[in-house]
Structure 1
């Protein structure tokens, strides 16, 4: 049965998409955000998008997300930039080489347009290849500006009649579903959707429903340089880069330890900046073409959400209370598909894949933080 009134908590990419898709189905939606739209982790996302996955459910979600990104291209100021995705392993790194070869085989088995190539076959791309042992090349890939996505969906939500409550910090309640401000339940809803990223865990725990979610810190930067090549993921040093209007956006700097979302450093570490600029110069051959090193434009840190099995937590936690969190760094690239799935599920269509069901965990599990952007053997 479709609800009449739904509250969405969190105005990042997933929350905004969910709110719009619910409103498009005729639901009265109120969107709560304690800051400005995209002020959390969506505004710190890398904006990389691809369908190079080796599992059925990941492929299905990525397929739909890519389809929607392309549908949105040209709407307002949003652009989806078609760009190949090259993921590589360096010569001599036997574990990474074998993991990459196996991953490509599995991706091809799921119908992905991914090719396995030797390093010398990458000469057509504007990247350094003399240290590459083997690479996978995914054609169905691209990048987008997360801030432009946020701005577009704020406009779409406004046009769809979503009520905004920005600058409002809330708690959520279950049985019955509700939203509380300053410990006072001010609104009752037919359903409440929590899409507050790494802060979702505390909201759900306060509501009496702990979930298996741990925040961890990641870092990225933008470098001024001349680059027009592909998106690149280096499996040997677990770093990535993509084209950016100023040159390159690059990241790694993952800290595989639980972070405190109320007490963490949003600025990038000096060691990360030095390492990332070196990786950019090395892989893009910037130093060879211009004889100057790439220059730092800006750098930052963000928080990703980890789960015990690397799958997100999407769907109903208890009657009338749903969750969308635990992206392992893939939240923005999956937002168009997950927002749609969650809206359909709240409207009674029961479409959330079983591997995403938050109920698969008790919420009190002890587990290690695992990086999302890895190739496993």
Structure 2
């Protein structure tokens, strides 16, 4: 499909990756971003990266994403920092403890390097953590963290080198018959394309709705903070407390603070709530002996779907969507961008990715928002991202 004209709507991690991959395959690509690159969910993501998933497709996407993150490290200012990831449940929290054990076993079935440790064994491995109240922990060694904004910047530079035209401060309306975009400052002119990819994060639902396409997506707030106090330990998620943490150049980054209420993607509170800061501060002191010196605390937006899985595929002839990652958007962005680019080009995609096809829904489903980073008592471990505070 050399010289196929493609518009990508959204300049976050998924959008710049898809644009880059499409251009390398010979497509003529223009990327439209309503603000600055990475100014949406990707710019507010936590940057926690791992492939320790219990579900086969999730594990495959996570592994491919980590492969690409590592390959990019050292390019255009992007760095992947190796760091183990600890998932733990507390004594007395029997359902979550059993879920952690089950999830770790299923991760190993998918050849993920994950160990199951007792609290005492975890303490020996990571003495910076308090572990006397830990019933069980799963430790994933194939993991790390990064600055999400640096990924967007690095891949955008590669995309430009590959011939992508990147237009920031360019809000667009999408059309479906035929595929096209109308740029706000060029109205009423509509640019026609062979394909349009909508990877607009929390704005995806509105962008597609204006084009007459209904998708079941709900944006919701998640929260994170950065502490200037020193931290020298692994990444961890205390499933019993619902709090995660990772090293940060300034000290430590921690979050979840999910607010399970649909948010307006244009009018929402960007600062973190006081209750979130108080709760996370207590958990950091309790779990890691870390007395936070909060440098900043913020909120970002994730997007939820009825089943917690993303929407990835064609929603109208020549119009594709990539959204709804429930807080895992940045973590899997390299694999997601690659997959949607392949779909546009009619190429083979990752095995099992078809289960995320948008047509599994009618688009008008009623559903409750669930926390993206959690351990389900049915054994499914959903994970974190997007700062990834959780954001996409």
Q: Shorter-chain-normalised TM-score: which range?
A: over 0.9
Equivalent pair of 1:119/1:133 in contact (CA under 8 Å): yes
The answer to whether the aligner puts 1:170 opposite 2:172 as a matched pair is yes
What's 1:289 paired with?
A: none
What's 2:20 paired with?
A: 20
What is the distance in 2 between the residues matched to 1:138 and 1:27?
Answer: 38
What's 2:388 paired with?
A: none
Structure 2 unaligned segments of length 5 or more: list them: 378-392
Displacement of 1:99 in angstroms is 1.1
Displacement of 1:315 in angstroms is 1.0
Equivalent pair of 2:241/2:283 in contact (CA under 8 Å): no
What is the distance in 2 between the residues matched to 1:119 and 1:236?
Answer: 14
Name the SS for the 1:86 alignment partner. Answer: strand
The answer to whether the aligner puts 1:277 opposite 2:281 as a matched pair is yes
Name the SS for the 2:258 alignment partner. Answer: strand
What is the distance in 1 between the residues matched to 2:274 and 2:323?
Answer: 29
What's 1:303 paired with?
A: 301
What is the distance in 1 between the residues matched to 2:11 and 2:154?
Answer: 12
What's 2:86 paired with?
A: 86
The answer to whether the aligner puts 1:109 opposite 2:109 as a matched pair is yes
The answer to whether the aligner puts 1:100 opposite 2:100 as a matched pair is yes
What's 1:47 paired with?
A: 47
CA displacement, residues 112-145 of structure 1 (integer Å, 9 cap, x when unaligned) = 1111110010122121112111100001110011
Match 2:334 to one of 309, 329, 336: 336
Count of matched residue pairs: 371
Displacement of 1:266 in angstroms is 0.8
Displacement of 1:95 in angstroms is 1.3
The answer to whether the aligner puts 1:227 opposite 2:231 as a matched pair is yes
What's 1:326 paired with?
A: 324
What's 1:34 paired with?
A: 34
- The TM-score with structure 2 as length reference comes to 0.92
What's 1:8 paired with?
A: 8
CA displacement, residues 311-334 of structure 1 (integer Å, 9 cap, x when unaligned) = 100111111100000011101110
Displacement of 1:184 in angstroms is 2.1
Name the SS for the 2:331 alignment partner. Answer: helix
Displacement of 1:85 in angstroms is 0.4
What is the distance in 1 between the residues matched to 2:327 and 2:13?
Answer: 13
Equivalent pair of 1:88/1:100 in contact (CA under 8 Å): yes
Structure 1 unaligned segments of length 5 or more: list them: 287-292
Equivalent pair of 2:51/2:142 in contact (CA under 8 Å): yes
Equivalent pair of 2:326/2:372 in contact (CA under 8 Å): yes
Displacement of 1:281 in angstroms is 2.1
The answer to whether the aligner puts 1:240 opposite 2:244 as a matched pair is yes
What is the distance in 1 between the residues matched to 2:210 and 2:141?
Answer: 44
Equivalent pair of 2:8/2:197 in contact (CA under 8 Å): yes
Match 1:161 to one of 137, 160, 163: 163
Equivalent pair of 2:256/2:373 in contact (CA under 8 Å): no
Displacement of 1:350 in angstroms is 4.7
What's 2:311 paired with?
A: 313
Correspondences of 1:232-271 after superposition (within 5 Å): 232-271=236-275
What is the distance in 2 between the residues matched to 1:2 and 1:368?
Answer: 43
Correspondences of 1:185-224 after superposition (within 5 Å): 185-224=189-228
